[in-house]
Amino acid sequence: MRTALLQSSGRPGSVDENIKILDDAAGRAAAAGAGLLVAPEMFLTGYAIGDDIARLAEPADGASADAITAIAARHGVAVAYGYPERDGERVYNSVQLVTADGPLANYRKTHLFGCFERDHFTPGDQPPVQADLGGLRVGLMICYDVEFPENVRAHALAGTDLLLVPTAQMHPFQFVAESVVPVRAFENQMYVAYVNRAGREGEFEFVGLSVLAGPDGVARTRAGRGEELVVADADPVLLAASREANPYLKDRRPGLYGSLV
């Protein structure tokens, strides 16, 4: 499945403008033959917007989900986007995967990074969230989540083929995009789409470097440091061949790993 990565911080604080940016990006993704567009963590509202996170948070089936469903239908492209999800009094850092038929899967970030996120969000507690799309089993995760090996391995054992990771990766942690993500893809035999914000926002400097890494650990596409839309394929044939050749998952000895939990 051809996958488009939208590296952008959008317009922090303006949901309407960010929906317009998604609409434009979905059109460009479709023109490039993509069936899936992935936007960064908290793309809908902006990341470093303080108390506006709670003000702009909305339910998974809110007005923005309806607007993005219309985008998916108009361009024939599924869209995964980060947003603050309101559920009663709680606000979660979430990612939602939407198709022309509406929301397909929703995931709440389980590993919150730093005081900023802990001050504004409730951590999720869902096991691997997956959906079938374009002949692939697609998994959802957000930023810091991918830095925990057990987290990604749980997706591998659940059969995830393509792991979507909207992120807000900041300086000086660019080694995650450069090194950790391709290794996660290799050791778990999956594609990983790691899609970052770009530029300075409040106190944070986002490093870009969005990547679609393959099961061989090779970047199929890599963005630079600025706003950019890049496209590459998650090929199920290559994935099957790679899994046949790489014995990591077959050679596991789970009986030795009890101390991990």
Write out the catalytic residue numbers: 41, 109, 143
Residue 74 DSSP SS3:
helix
How many residues can be counted in the chain?
A: 261
Q: Give the integer Cα–Cα distance in Å for 189 and 179.
A: 16
Which residues share a beta bridge with 113? none
**Contact call for residues 86 and 112 (beta carbons, < 8 A):** no
| Residue of 120, 168, 172, 177 whose CA lies nearest to 12 | 168
**223 phi and psi, to 5 degrees?**
-80, 165
Residue 174 DSSP SS3:
coil
